[in-house]
Structure formats: structure tokens, C-alpha cells
Amino acid sequence: MSSPNARSAAPVQSGRQSPFDAKSNALQVLETAYGRIEAEHDRNCWIHVRPFAEALDECRKLMARAQAGEHLPLLGVPFGVKDNIDVLGMPTTAACPSFSYQPARSARSVERLVAAGAICIGKTNLDQFATGLSGARSPYGACATVADDSYVSGGSSSGSAVAVAAGHVVFALGTDTGGSGRIPAGFNGIVGIKPTIGRVSSRGLVPNCPTLDCVSVFCNTVQDGATILDIIEGFDTEDPYSRPAGIGAAAPSSAFRFGRIAPGQLECYGMPECSALYEEACARFTGLGGTAVEIDFAPFAEAGKMLFAGPWVAERRAAIAALTEIDTDELLDVTKTVLRAASGFSAMDAFTAHHRLLRLRRQTQTVMADLDALVVPTAPRPIALDDMNRDPITLNTSLGYYSYFANLLDLCAVAIPNAVLPNGIPMGVTLLAPAWSDRALIALARRLEVNAGGAAFELISRA
């Protein structure tokens, strides 16, 4: 039975006809999107919404271009953008009002989507400066999961995930440094794709940890995410963190091997029913042709702890200090607390940690070499908003137990829906693989995903 605070997320069943099966539906879909946004201000998932008349005018112009023969694979598809990613004509705030600026151009990822005919209808809420995994660290209001107003949505890309899950947009861009593109997907019953670092340009992204940041995608199906990734990926000479594409693994055959955490190493922070859902997912994947291989999760967990308990928090502080005054009253107290921890690390600490990380990478590469994917819970357990507000540091940190290590270990990831707890909160699982194995991982995720319901729109590719 659902919690009394649960509310409808307008779910669809797999196989339902997409509103984009006919291009003439574009205006109607746009009108529906704006109607839902207007009716659901209390979800707090938007910081800036583009005027409807302006979006409608752009849609009509796009339709005219398509009629004239121009190929626009995302014609009229409405999408949202996390408000630490630049969109021309819209302010970028990073959830800090005093930081707000008007960008001179859109981020590279946004430029590619607009060139494909998609329509950005607004900027979505986030944990301030992308510092957090809860969705509760914003002066624009906390974002709850679409399943229950009293539970966190996950962050920092909270608004993007909620906007997709609530049916406001077809897809949305987020970012991911330590799980921000995966945790909110898990708690909202949608898909989150975290590409290999450098696969998608970070030009136009407000930096958090620049060596670890990447643009992520929230959507309703893995195929939708693959379609968007095809459009936004590519080496960018303007981005110093962009990387030429490497050679990834081939997609597995019908038989595949997946790593699973040994039961004794599962961490659910007092909610064993969450671990039970993970066990059920592993059993289901075995039934679909997978061979489960128990792995030692200890080196992954150790690497994950480095993100905030190690000197990488100094990179985060350095990036934000270059943008705004750390001690300004505009920064939330919890943001200041996280950033001030950086003063406890020296250059010697940074090199010591980096050398340890390289050893952990080699250790985990040996584990991953024998697997098509590592499967982990997307998050250990759901957390109530009231509890998060009472203990914002400890509980936020607990959310990243299964996600913090991914970028540090140079892995790509796909978060997919798994099941729903008795209290109505969705819980997902995440598939991970070495860098540049994105395509193979997406192919496997498509076989394993469970459509647990999502937004009222579904994207199709019109290649």
C-alpha cells in the first residue's frame, strides 16, 4: 500500500503509443507539458520556465523547417536542463540567486539537442552548486520524489528527474559527479544514464569537481537515453576535459556475466527490505541468461569514501571559490559546511590519495575484466525529507554508498527501475562498466530494464 502522501506521477505502461508517433502532435504535447508544469508548482522542480508563447512559436518554426525537408530527429520534443548547465536566453543560477548570470551561449550538449529540433522549456532545480545527493539543498525549495511528498527525490539533479517522472518533459539533462545522475532516477522510477567522463562535452557546465563532472540524461526508457546520448556525445576541442572516444567492450551475447555484491557486504542502513529488492533483481537477471559472480565490494566502497572524506572536496571548493565567495550569505549553511572541510587537506594529502586511488583502480579493473557489468542498488534506502533536514550531512553521505566510486574509478553507468517498496517508494539498480563501454552497457540495460511506470511522454527516434 502506498504512503498517504503518495501522489500520481501519471505512469504509462510499456508499449503505449508515443505522442510523438505523429509529428503533428508536437504542439499538443507542448501544451500538455506546460499545463502540467502550471498545475504542479509545488513539486519545486523548476527554477526558470520559458514563456509558453515563445516555446510555441519555436515549435511552429521547427515544424515548418521539417515540412521543408530538414531532418530534425527530435522535432518538438520538450526537455529540461539542470540549472548548472547554460542555456542561451535563460539565467544560470546553480541554485544560488546571487550567482545568477545570462550565458552568452548554450552548453555544447544543449546546442546539439536544439540543432536536432528539441525545445528546452526551462531550467530545473538542484542541490546548490550540485553539492548534495538529496534534492533538499536549494533556496528554491526541496524536491520530493513523485511517489511521496515526504521522501527525498535524490539529488543533486533533483528537478530534472522529477520533471521527467512527473510528465512535465520527455527527457532532461542533469549532471553527475558522485551519483547525481543516478540517485534521483532510482527514487523516481526512471532511467538515468551517466556516460564515460569526457564523452559528452562539459563546456557550459558550472564546475563542481571538473575532473569528475559529466552531463547525464534522465528519461523513461534506456532506448530514449541511447537516442539522446547519440546526439550530445562527441569530442569538443573547446572543453579541456573532453576525451577522444576510446574502444569499449562489445555488447554481450544472450549469456552474460554480472558482478553482484555479496550479501554480507550489502548496506541498507536499517531497511533490509531494500536489500531484498536487490536480491530479487539479481535473481531476475540470472533468469534472463546472466551468471551472477559475487565480488568483493570493499575496494569500490573505499574509493567512494574518497569523494568527500578525501581531498577531492578541495577540488570542489576550488571550483566554486573561483565562481563565488564561499562565505557569502547566499550559500546555504550545509553547502558551506561541506566546502569548509577542504581546508583540512594538504597537497601531500592530495597526492597520497591520488596514488591510493590508482591502486584501487587497478584492483577494481581486475574485478571488472571478467564481467559484462557490475550491478549495485542505485541507493541503499529512501530517506524522509524531515530526517534529511535534521541530519543533512550524514544521511546525504549514506545515499552515495553505491554511487560515489563510479567517476573516481572511471566507470560509465545506467540506472534502471527495479521495484517498489511497500511504502510506495521506487528503488532502482545501477549497471556499471569500464570507461567507453557505454554502448555495450546500454544494450545490456535494455534487456534488463523494468518499466515500472514513468512520465506521460515517451520519446521515439525518427532517424
Active site residues: 82, 156, 180
Phi-psi region of 313 (alpha: psi -120 to 50; beta: other; left: phi over 0): alpha
Three-state DSSP class for 293? strand
Cβ–Cβ under 8 Å, residues 218 and 182 = no
Nearest residue to 419 via CA among 377, 447, 388, 458:
377
Cell numbers representing residue 461 in the block? 527516434
Phi-psi region of 198 (alpha: psi -120 to 50; beta: other; left: phi over 0): left
The pairing of strands 171-176 and 78-82 is parallel
Three-state DSSP class for 385? helix
Helices and strands counted in the chain (H then E): 15, 11
Separation in Å, CA 123 to CA 86, 342, 353? 9, 29, 36
Nearest residue to 343 via CA among 306, 318, 307, 322:
318
Beta bridge partners, 169, equal: none
The pairing of strands 256-261 and 191-194 is unpaired
* Per-position DSSP letters for 149-175, written without gaps between them: TTBB--SSSHHHHHHHHTTS-SEEEEE
Three-state DSSP class for 232? helix
